[in-house]
Structure 1
Amino acid sequence: MLYGAECWPTKRRHVQQLSVAEMQMLRWFCGHTRRDRVRNEVIRDRVGVAPIEEKLTQHRLRWFGHVQRRPLEAPVHNGVLERVDNVKRGRGRPKLTWDESVKRYLKD
């Protein structure tokens, strides 16, 4: 589920959808249904799995470390860390960029 997730900025909606899908799989794995009314924490403890939001943060910060260690002329370094200033952006709230999401994770 996390393949390539370190490269795209995630919104709360994306994290929620990933966690719902993960819990569906874990419940199926344990043989429980929603009708059994078993708490998510109990299922996570039984299986021994960390929440997907923590795993997503770990993957993203690991990828950020790889990008930082690349030489400055590397395409991934230029593409990720450069920002174009001459582009006219639309109205409303600006879209969350990858580097802004990484800064938020580093602050946490």
Structure 2
Amino acid sequence: MTYGSETWSLTMSLIRRLRVTQRAMERAMLGVSLRDRIRNVEIRGRTKVTDIAQRVAKLKWQWAGHIVRRKDGRWGPKVLKWQPRTGKRSVGRPPTRWTYDIKRVAGSRWIQAAQNRGTWNSLQKTYVQQWTSIG
């Protein structure tokens, strides 16, 4: 379910949909119906499965650090700094970009922060916690 999640732009609606799907899968694993009225906490205690929001956030954070630290000339780090030539945006609210939620935790100089693994790993807990506390 988390295949390729490192590249997703995390939004609250996406996390909500992932959690609903995960709960449905856990109920199916246990053979429990919604009509049984068993709380999600109880089901999570029985399955001992990690919360999907935690898993996705951790994978994205690790992937971001990995991409930024690359020095072999691949396109990954270059794409992070890319700006469109036209300079025009479409009408309406701009889409959520991949780096927005990383910048919220690590600051606008997150690329420099990712170069130091110790600093980057200490910020990971804060980043994962922000997505775990939602909903």
Query: Which TM-score applies when normalising by structure 2?
Result: 0.71
1:38-76 Cα offsets, whole Å, 9 max, x none, are 111111111111211111110100101111210173211
Kept in 2, the 8 Å contact 1:5–1:56? The answer is: yes
- Structure 2 gaps, min length 5: 107-125, 128-135
Q: Which has the larger displacement, 50-59 or 65-74?
A: 65-74
Secondary structure of the 1:79 match is: helix
Query: Which TM-score applies when normalising by structure 1?
Result: 0.87
- Structure 2: how far apart are the matches of 1:104 and 1:34? 37
2:92 matches 1:92: yes
CA RMSD of aligned residues (A): 1.9
Letter in structure 2 aligned against 1:44: R
Q: What is the deviation of 1:105? A: 5.0
1:80-103 Cα offsets, whole Å, 9 max, x none, are 233336421022211111111222
Secondary structure of the 1:98 match is: coil
Task: Kindly tell me the number of residue pairs found equivalent between the two proteins.
Answer: 108
2:67 matches 1:67: yes
- Structure 1: how far apart are the matches of 2:87 and 2:72? 23
- Structure 1: how far apart are the matches of 2:85 and 2:35? 53
Letter in structure 2 aligned against 1:60: K
% identical aligned pairs: 31
Letter in structure 2 aligned against 1:61: W
Kept in 2, the 8 Å contact 1:81–1:99? The answer is: no
- Structure 1 gaps, min length 5: none
